[in-house]
Amino acid sequence: MNFKDEILRRRTFAIISHPDAGKTTLTEKFLLFGGAIQVAGAVKSNKIKKSATSDFMEIERQRGISVATSVMSFEYKNILINLLDTPGHKDFAEDTYRTLTAVDSVILVVDSVNGVEDQTRRLMEVCRMRDTPVIVFINKMDRDGKGRFDLLEEIEKELNISLHPMTWPINSGKEFKGVYNLHDQNLRLFSANTKAEDDETVSISNLNDAELDEMLGEKDAAILREDVELVDGVNGELNVDDYLKAKVSPVFFGSAINNFGVKEMLDTFIRIAPVPQDREATTREVEVMEPKLSGFVFKIHANLDPKHRDRIAFFRVCSGRFERNKYYHHVRLDKDVRFSNPYSFLAREKSVIEDAYAGDVVGLFDTGNFKIGDTLTEGEDFFFTGIPSFSPEIFKEVVNKDPMKTKQLEKGLLQLTDEGVAQLFTQFGGTKKIIGCVGELQFEVIQYRLLHEYGAAVEFRALPFYKACWLTSGDTKKLEDFTKFKQANTGEDKDGHIVYLAQSEWFLNTEITNNPEITFHFSSEIHK
Ligand code: G4P
């Protein structure tokens, strides 16, 4: 297959959801369709059980699973699908946000009983920042959920997106009878535990056919007719271009656990989902079909074995072809590097690959050369833009309990923050090291890993900050004065960018009003 066709047959995406909505179950059904796994239950949930927040074995187990299932590649109808996994636990949300920078589209799973939940909102915000095309799967139709119209309205309103139903449900819960495919105009009747190879649909050329009454009963047939008229009248055919521009989201109804409604979605996905896209870089736009390799690291995973400090860097190929043992230019370090054992991932197996194309994710062995956002090229100097860090929500001071281990502690802090586990700030007017995280669980992970991997014992002291903002100004004197007067609330991040640590929304708003010459940024772009 030629270079161009290789890229055109790739689709790289992530499934996102609030925990428990059914992401793992849906992932597994996709893999079954793709023949990547043979039996249900092969994909372990990457959830950290609610009761196990302090159980480090659980965290380690979770880390093991998430490396293995980080990227799942499979083929379906000659399309090569790269499915990137995202952590379910909200404390690891930052990891999920970064993974979303490496995909070309997403499938959002919504639980029909719970509707839009917290995490759903935040994840959609990140998708919107990048105009990522979204397909919505409304799951658990076999349970008594919210009404179909109410659900659609809630999703549209809460997530501020425009929906386009592709299938339409006939009842829900015990009365769930199936879905009508508005695009193909056929009916799939619900049966629990549909097999991957089952492909039984009833084509309905005319909804007014009496056959429909026989199949669904008069009442449900009448409701379906009415619904379809209403929905079709409003929507018409899906405008694929609008979907690709993230202006409209196709919606499917189904039940992942019963493998119902999944195939319709997968078939549509391979038909409409975007191929690997061109990407904006600091100096120019990089076209996916350029023959020279370029790509970036969006995630770094530490080895499970503390005796080996090597890590796996997840590298998204953005253009060209990646080859084993070829020298590439590491832009930040300005040095040439090559990889003798690049990995591709497939469910639980890792295998060494010879080459990879734009759209693929390659696992690179790393001994500390990489941090999030690093770029490899064939010589040109640029970074990809749009890989932001968001403000942490909990801030704590690092207290070194063993001064003899200061060096190890510093190294550990740098390496863990390179991995993106947390953000590190140094307060001005002192050397106070401040760790910022999205969730409490991460502090436990950091404390544990500093001790076990670096031999450094630390404690954390809570700090009264609620948000970090990155500051810029055209007036350097103003910025200098601000940091001088607000020493207790200012510092720098690891890359030397100035940050303001706000105690409360009130303080933040006051400073914004009082300092019009200074811009307060709520996320930092790693590379602008
Ligand atoms: P997540 O990855 O989004 O966190 O969700 P996951 O797939 O683990 O699913 C969460 C729970 O919802 C699981 O039950 C799963 O079996 C169930 N589920 C998924 N899809 C459907 C569906 O279509 N209908 C119904 N009724 N349930 C569904 P659990 O009891 O938490 O776990 P398990 O013991 O069944 O694995």
Residue 146 Cα to ligand 1 midpoint, Å, equals: 18
Query: Do 463 and 443 fall within a single domain?
Result: yes
In this structure, is residue 389 part of a structural domain?
Answer: no
pLDDT number for residue 48: 44
Has residue 431 been placed in a domain?
yes
Residue 311's pLDDT is: 81
Provide φ and ψ at 122, rounded to 5°. -65, -40
Q: How far is the CA of 176 from the centre of ligand 1 (A)?
A: 18
Which residues form the domain of 229?
A: 3-272
Number of domains in the chain: 3
Q: Cβ distance 471 to 500 under 8 Å?
A: yes
For residue 388, tell me if it sits in a domain: no
Environment class of 61 (CB within 10 Å of its CB; exposed 0-12, middle 13-18, buried 19+):
middle
Q: What is the predicted pLDDT for the residue at 233? A: 76
The owner of tokens 């952590």 is: 87
Q: How far is the CA of 90 from the centre of ligand 1 (A)?
A: 17
Atom of ligand 1 nearest to the CA of 255: 23
In a domain, 382, yes or no: no
> Looking at the domain assignment, is residue 387 inside a domain?
no
Q: State which amino acid sits at residue 209.
A: D
Considering the domain architecture, whether residues 62 and 183 belong to the same structural domain is answered as: yes
Q: Is residue 490 part of a domain?
A: yes
Cβ of 167 closer than 6 Å to ligand 1, yes or no, is: no
- 477 and 406 belong to one structural domain: yes
- What is the whole-number distance in angstroms between the Cα of residue 67 and the centre of ligand 1? 21
130 and 218, same domain (yes or no): yes
Q: Following CA atoms 259, 264, 268, 273 in sequence, which dihedral angle do they give, to the nearest 10 degrees?
A: -20
| Domain end call among 342, 377, 412 | 377
Ligand 1 in reach of 46 Cβ (< 6 A): no
17 lines ligand 1 (CB under 6 A): yes
Verify that 152 and 268 share a domain, yes or no. yes
Confirm or reject: Cβ of 21 under 6 Å from ligand 1: yes
C-alpha to C-alpha distance for 241 and 514, rounded to whole angstroms: 44
Residues 496 and 446 in one domain: yes
Residue 264 shares a structural domain with residue 319: no
The strand ranges marked E within 271-404 are: 279-280, 285-286, 294-302, 311-319, 321-323, 328-330, 335-337, 343-346, 349-352, 355-357, 361-366, 375-377, 388-390, 394-400
Instruction: Give the CATH number, domain containing residue 168.
Output: 3.40.50.300
Ligand 1 atom nearest 260 alpha carbon: 23
Q: Is residue 383 part of a domain?
A: no
Give the distance (Å) from ligand 1 centre to CA of residue 21. Answer: 7
Q: Whose CA is nearest to atom 11 of ligand 1?
A: 20
170 and 265 together in one domain: yes
Q: What's the CA-to-centroid distance between 148 and ligand 1, angstroms? A: 20
User: Is residue 23 lining ligand 1, measured as CB closer than 6 Å?
Assistant: yes
Distance between CA 462 and CA 434 in Å, rounded? Answer: 10
Domain stops at, among 241, 272, 303: 272
Backbone angles phi, psi at 192, to 5 degrees: -65, 150
Contact 9, 78 (CB under 8 A): yes
Stretches in the chain below the pLDDT threshold 50: 48-56, 347-348
Check whether residue 500 and residue 410 sit in a common domain. Answer: yes
**Looking at the domain assignment, is residue 15 inside a domain?**
yes
Q: Whose CA is nearest to atom 31 of ligand 1?
A: 20
pLDDT at 381: 96
Give the integer Cα–Cα distance in Å for 322 and 319: 9
Note whether 178 and 196 are same-domain residues. yes
Same domain, 431 and 510: yes
Atom of ligand 1 nearest to the CA of 18: 3
Taking the centre of ligand 1 as the mean of its atom positions, its distance from the CA of residue 112, in whole angstroms, is 12
Encoded amino acid at 314, one letter: F
Q: Which of 314, 22, 295 is nearest to 145 (CA)?
A: 22
Q: Are residues 352 and 478 in the same domain?
A: no
State which of 229, 244, 272 marks the end of a domain: 272
